[in-house]
Structure formats: structure tokens, C-alpha cells
Amino acid sequence: MNAIIRRDSLGSLFDDIFSDYFTRSGVPVAARAGERPAAVLARMDVSDRGDNFAVTMDLPGVKKEDIQITVEGSRVAVRAETKSQSEARDGERVLHSERSATSYARSFELPAEVTEDKADASFENGVLRLVLPKRAAVAGRRLNVR
């Protein structure tokens, strides 16, 4: 039996297989012809350092005031957006005009809850670094029956 694969479904299959690879590398992949993903996944590393988690995230072209970080229990969400515009003129004539915008979004669950106390965030040369202290375990308390 011969299988017939339509050309448009083959392209879709190719996009499905390789879209995560290209998205993680920072190259946006069109989900459909002419479309771009709503947000690019930022490259990220998370390491457990015993009493805290260290997170390093690449956010190229972003300014630190355009980064939002939310920590709720063990869930961490990072959003950032960058916009740029350039224009080449010859007197009053516009020769070339270009605008671009990129949104980065990442939300992940850590294996333990973290506390906002003593949490630290720094951003330099397009790299966001977070130090998120683990929440101290609450010891069980014995209740006396009256």
C-alpha cells in the first residue's frame, strides 16, 4: 500500500518537529505562512545550589526596565519585550524603514517553593540572573488534645 502525503501536511510536519529547536535557539519559526510565534522562549539554565536556585536567562536586546518577574510559591514567570526602529533617509525621501518587536516569555515550576526575601535579580549584557532562596521547610507541630 502506497501512502500519499500532501505537500502542505509535510511542511506542517516539518514545522512541528523542528519548531522547538529553532524557537529555543532564538530563531522564530512561522507556525503558519507569514505568522510569528506570540512569544519566543528565552534560553534558560536553572541550577540547584542547595539553599537557593540560580536561574540564568538570555534576553538579547532587552532593557532591564522592560523585564517583569513574578514569583508565586514554586512558580516563576519572566516576561520581557524589546522594540526597535530604524530609518535611512536621503533628504526628505525615506530609503529604508524597519521596525521589529520581540516578546520573550518563560514560566516554569521549581522543585521547591522559594521566598521573595533575599531574592536577587540582576541584568547585564542581555543576560538575566536570578538567585531565588528556597523557602524554609515548616516543621510539623504537635497539637495537644483538650
Q: 52 with 103, same domain? A: yes
- The tally of domains found in the chain comes to 2
Per-residue model confidence as pLDDT tens digits over 122-132: 999 999 999 99
Task: Using DSSP, state whether 22 is helix, strand or coil.
Answer: helix
Residue spans of the chain under pLDDT 50: 1-10, 20-34
Q: Do 55 and 101 lie in a common domain? A: yes
Is residue 139 in a domain?
no
Per DSSP, the residues of 50-85 read: SSEEEEEEE-TT--GGGEEEEEETTEEEEEEEEEEE
Which domain covers residue 29, as residue numbers?
1-37
Q: Are 100 and 50 found together in one domain?
A: yes
Residues 5 and 49 occupy one common structural domain? no
Q: Are residues 21 and 89 in the same domain?
A: no
Q: In which residue are the cell numbers 549584557 written?
A: 125
Q: What is the pLDDT of residue 16?
A: 53
pLDDT tens readout for residues 40-61: 778 899 999 999 999 999 998 8
Q: Are residues 62 and 28 in the same domain?
A: no
Residue 27 lies in a domain: yes
E-assigned strands of the chain? 44-48, 52-58, 67-72, 75-90, 93-109, 120-124, 127-133
pLDDT score at 63: 92
Q: Is residue 138 part of a domain?
A: no
| Per-residue pLDDT at 12 | 52
